[in-house]
Each structure stands twice: as C-alpha cells, then as structure tokens.
Amino acid sequence: MTDQVSIVVLTGGVGGAKLVEGLSRIVDPDRICAVVNTGDDFDHFGLRICPDIDTLVYTLAGLADPVRGWGRVDETWNFMFALEQLGAPAWFSLGDRDLAMHVLRSQRLNMGESLSSITLDHSRRLGVDMHIAPMSDFQVATKIHTDHGVLDFQAYFVEHRCLPVIRSISFAGSGHARPSVAVVEALRSPNLEAIIIAPSNPWLSIDPILAVPDIKRLIEAAEVPVIAVTPLPGGRAVKGPTAKIMDELGIEKSAQSIVD
Ligand code: FO1
C-alpha cells in the first residue's frame, strides 16, 4: 500500500537506482516509493521493454550488472547470437535471463494487466520491498527532435549513441496520460515527508515524469520539501549525455539552470 509512503523519489535508471538503493539502507523500504520514468519504454521484436523499471528492479534485487549499467549480472547472449544468425537487427541487446522479464511482462500486458501490477508482482518475486511504480500505465514515448529528424528514444540513445544534435524533446501521449494509482496514493500519503528528484538526466528521465499533468499538480499540492539532487556535481555530468544535451539546447550547465 503506497498510502504508507513517507518518501517519493522521481527517477530514471542507473543514477536514480543508486540513490534509492542507498536510501533503502536508512529508511524502511516499505516507506519509499520510486516513481519511474517510462518514456524510454518501447516495443522490440514484439516485446515491451521498460529499461528504467528493470534497472530499478534488478538493482534493488541485487541482480543488476554493475559494469554495463543495464540488464542482469552473469548474463549470457545466446538469444542475440541466434537472432543475428537469422539476419535480425542487433543494435539493442537482450540478454537470455533479461528476456524472461520482457516475455512475461508482454504476455501479461497483452492479457490486459497493468504495467503497475506486473511491476509490483515481479519486484516482490525478486525480493524487492520498495514500491516501484511506473509513472503511468498509459504509454508515453520520449521523442528526440534532432538534426537527423525525429528519433524514438532508444534509436537516439542506443542505435545512434546520442550523437545527433538535439533541437528539442517531446513526450508523445503525455497530455492524456494519468499517473498510476500507486503514484497518486504515494503523493497523497498522509505520512509523506519529502519528494526527492534523483540525479537522473533532467531532460530524458525527469521531464517525462513531470510531463504527466497530474503528477506535477500532485507534487505542487503535497506541501512537503521537494529536494532535487544535481546530476551535475561541479558542473560536470557523472555519466551519460546530460552536459552534451544542455550545450545543444543552449542551457547553462549548472544546477540552478536545471531547477529553472
Ligand atoms: N543500452 C545500450 O546502450 N545498449 C543496449 O543494447 C541496451 C539494451 C537494453 C536492454 C534492456 C534494457 O532494460 C536496457 C537496455 N539498455 C541498453 C539500456 C537502455 O537503453 C538505456 O540505458 C535507458 O533507456 C536509459 O535510461
């Protein structure tokens, strides 16, 4: 039940997963709700892939690959080798163990279950006590408008390795998306003490969450401190394309300009 929650964390993948993992060592995990970006989610070979949710689940379950930053530790790649043999595009790698998550999630989504309910069940089965809540059960897709045209998020991020110059970013479907029930309960929890914005990429991971209209409204109505952890300590990004994107969008590389 997310109405017992005292801390809500808005998060993307790796950076946010590290923050919530640390937080869960000092706060009862049952009192934390991670509201996760789903703008990176996409369909690939008929499977629904939810990278940030899976990074959270695997990290908190102690199953994440610490070097690669995505997917499972001790992974094997037989599925990818077999796909390549059959001439399929191999720019997005699905590990054999990770594949189980995508197959089962896709089957359950196709049978009409919500992403929230599937995520809760999978995380509990892997021993995760924290609430991991997709920002929405509606599909929202991050679109990257570049000097090479409009790219889907994973095409920009993985296939084109963040190289195209970004002109703007949009979130298809966000206008009609509603927050998941768990997110609404957590942000209205009578025990809520703080909302933390993880040091995830502000434009690619946090903005999609804030683009769901009711989430922004609920945060403003919560009347608790909202604490944003900078992804640019000392003006430099720890990882990923945050600094490059700020340059391309003409935004000064400082914590204050992210807040603004
Ligand atoms: N990132 C890559 O750079 N290359 C991949 O082949 C890749 C596969 C992949 C499969 C499942 C998954 O959950 C994540 C995966 N990622 C991969 C990570 C993902 O593209 C991004 O790191 C996130 O979307 C950004 O948070």
Q: What digits encode the pLDDT tens for the residues 162-198?
A: 999 999 999 999 999 999 999 999 999 999 999 999 9
Mean pLDDT of the 232-260 span? 79
Q: 258: CA distance to ligand 1 center in Å?
A: 24
Whole-number pLDDT of residue 3:
73
In this structure, are strands 166-172 and 141-146 parallel, antiparallel, or unpaired? antiparallel
User: Could you tell which of 158, 206, 209 is best to mutate to test the pocket of ligand 1, judged by most ligand atoms within 8 Å of the CB?
Assistant: 158
Confidence band of 52 (pLDDT split at 50, 70, 90)? very high
- Does the CB atom of residue 40 touch ligand 1 within 6 A? yes
Residue partners of 162: CB distance under 8 A and separation at least 6: 156, 240, 241, 244
Mean pLDDT computed over every residue of the chain: 94
Mean pLDDT of the 21-30 span? 95
- Does the CB atom of residue 70 touch ligand 1 within 6 A? yes
CB contact at 8 A, 36 and 53: yes
- Does the CB atom of residue 138 touch ligand 1 within 6 A? no
Separation in Å, CA 8 to CA 32, 38, 118, 177, 183: 6, 16, 20, 20, 9
Q: Ligand 1, closest atom to CA 153?
A: 24
Whole-number pLDDT of residue 1:
67
The single residue listed with the structure tokens 């608790």 is: 224
Is pLDDT at 245 greater than 90 in this prediction?
Answer: no
| C-alpha to C-alpha distance for 25 and 64, rounded to whole angstroms | 17
Which residue lies with its CA nearest to atom 1 of ligand 1?
Answer: 158
Amino acid (1-letter code) at residue 158 = V
Q: Does an H or E element contain 7, and which? A: strand 7-11
